[in-house]
Structure formats: C-alpha cells, structure tokens
C-alpha cells in the first residue's frame, strides 16, 4: 500500500500547470464569448443603457448558460419575458430577480445567504433550474419552459419566450 505524503511528487507538480490551464477559459472560448457579446450588445442596449453593465451581464450569462448546456440566447429571451432585465424585479407570486426565481429554490439548491436579486446568483439558479427541466423533458424546450414557469400543459409562456428568442436574440 502506498503511503500518503504531504509533499507533492514530481508527477503531481508536473500536472499542476495542466490543471491550472484547464480551469482557465481557453482562447477559443474567449473568442466565442467576445463574438457573441458583440452580437448581443445592441439588442440588449434596449434594456440596459450602461455599456459596462451590459458587458458584465453578457459575460456572466454566457458563462452560466454554457455551464448549464443552454443556448445563451434562450436565457436572454427568458429574462426579457420574465423581468425585462430588471434585477430587482419581484413578481406578484414572489419570484425574484432577472430570471424570476421562486425563493423556495434557495432551500433546495443553495444557502440561506443567497440573494436572488444579485444577478450572478440569479443567473446560476435560473440556468441550473432550466437545464434540469430541459433534461426532465428530454430536450423539449416548450415543456421545459412551461415547467420553469409553473404552467406545464399550457403553451402561452413557452410561446412568448420562444418568440422573443426568435425575434430578438438569434
């Protein structure tokens, strides 16, 4: 049996640069992000006038959507329909933030200190939830979006999101 040591072996030390490189976005990913952000900046300017705010939101949204395996443009469409890009939005049902996350999800997925009005946290929750529903519905966007909205069996909400996706974000 091999003994565990606190001192890394030569092989472990050799792997560290590879691990650090793997955890950094690749040049190709950065290029894709830059191209996408450039395409989405003008349509988003209808909702967010401040260029730095648009840049930060688009960067984080792209990252969260890709991490969850979602088309980032779909997430933009969902946010347009849900909150019109108002991070402080609260619905009559109590849904919060950009992606209108119901507070019960904090108990399910997060920590009590999670602030759903914080855009980065809201994007993480929303993309995770939508990706889960998309998996449950085996890639059916209509049914996944209806689940996200709590209107499974009805098509009015998915139709609104898919229309926004088609008309504004593709």
As a whole number of Å, the end-to-end CA separation of the chain is 57
| Residue 82 is a catalytic residue | yes
Token output for 129: 């939830």
- Residue of 20, 50, 73, 82 marked active site: 82
Distances in whole angstroms, Cα of residue 36 to Cα of each of 39, 71, 124? 5, 11, 19
CB-based contacts of 35-39 (< 8 A; 24+ apart in sequence) = 36/62, 36/72, 37/62
∠ at Cα 137 (134, 141), nearest 5°? 55
Residue 110, burial from CB neighbour count under 10 angstroms (0-12, 13-18, 19+): middle
Positions annotated as catalytic residues are 82
């Amino acid at each position: 049996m091999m003994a565990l040591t606190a001192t890394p072996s030569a092989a472990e030390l050799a792997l560290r640069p590879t691990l650090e490189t793997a955890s950094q976005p690749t040049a190709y990913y950065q290029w894709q992000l830059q191209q996408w952000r450039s395409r989405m900046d003008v349509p988003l300017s209808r909702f967010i006038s401040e260029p730095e705010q648009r840049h930060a939101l688009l960067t984080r949204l792209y990252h969260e959507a890709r991490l969850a395996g979602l088309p980032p443009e779909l997430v933009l469409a969902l946010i347009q329909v849900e909150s019109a890009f108002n991070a402080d939005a609260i619905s009559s049902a109590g849904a919060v933030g950009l992606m209108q996350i119901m507070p019960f999800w904090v108990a399910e997925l997060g920590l009590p200190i999670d602030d759903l009005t914080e855009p980065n946290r809201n994007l993480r929750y929303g993309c995770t939830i939508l990706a889960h529903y998309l998996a449950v519905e085996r890639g059916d966007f209509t049914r996944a979006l209806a689940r996200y909205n709590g209107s499974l069996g009805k098509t009015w909400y998915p139709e609104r999101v898919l229309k926004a996706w088609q008309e504004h974000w593709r």
